[in-house]
Chain A
Amino acid sequence: DSGVTQTPKHLITATGQRVTLRCSPRSGDLSVYWYQQSLDQGLQFLIQYYNGEERAKGNILERFSAQQFPDLHSELNLSSLELGDSALYFCASSPEAGNTYNEQFFGPGTRLTVL
């Protein structure tokens, strides 16, 4: 158990819909990262938040948005869903101080299926 929690575990929805994925980082970790993993694309970095502020953006579609709240939990919002958005979405967190190993701790993921 990494200490990172994600809800829900599974989500099945229809094209055109909007969903929200939630992540709680490990206690004390200020950085939260979102990754998308689909069968043929590996782990794709979407976005990073640090202490409530957006720090880096990767290959995140305009239909997707995220935020990090004062209690450091984060939400990833996916809208106008398409079949191709079906994937595993991982959240990861990392400590800042003393993290000399680039180590990120991954949550169990949310499996999104768009029908």
Chain B
Amino acid sequence: GQSLEQPSEVTAVEGAIVQINCTYQTSGFYGLSWYQQHDGGAPTFLSYNALDGLEETGRFSSFLSRSDSYGYLLLQELQMKDSASYFCAVRDQDYGGSQGNLIFGKGTKLSVKP
């Protein structure tokens, strides 16, 4: 079957660094994405990795190791507003270069404490 595993909850303090891991098992692999969702809100795109290595976008970085079927999202200089759920997602289909649906993990609820 297809699955993405990530921790259900993580707690950290303001200013700290937190890493949210994701391991995946899918029939195909066309990139690992991360989405943020605040309570009651819509998921919003954070980052994407298609190749191995680290991608940095401001305070957020995302890493991928395709050989290990593993990735992580790194959040630095945590702020209270970072309290949200974070989802990893894999696209497992390719339609000749066009987009396919995402398979999401169950999400990691991050609580940032003062």
Which residues from chain A sit less than 8 Å from chain B, CB to CB? 2, 31, 33, 35, 41-45, 48, 50, 55-56, 58, 90, 92, 94-96, 99-109
Contact = CB atoms under 8 A, between A and B. Distances in A.
Interface of B: 30-31, 33, 41-45, 48, 50, 87, 89, 91, 93, 95, 98-107
Contact of B99 (A2, A44, A94): A94
Contact of A43 (B41, B48, B87): B87
B27 to A, nearest CB: 13
A103 B103 contact: no
B60 to A, nearest CB: 14
Given A56-B93, A102-B33, A103-B33, A45 B102 contact: yes
Contacts of A44: 104
B100 A101 contact: no
Contacts of B106: 41-42
A46 B98 CA distance: 18
Contacts of A94: 99
B45 A101 contact: yes
Contacts of A102: 30-31, 33, 48, 89, 91, 99, 102
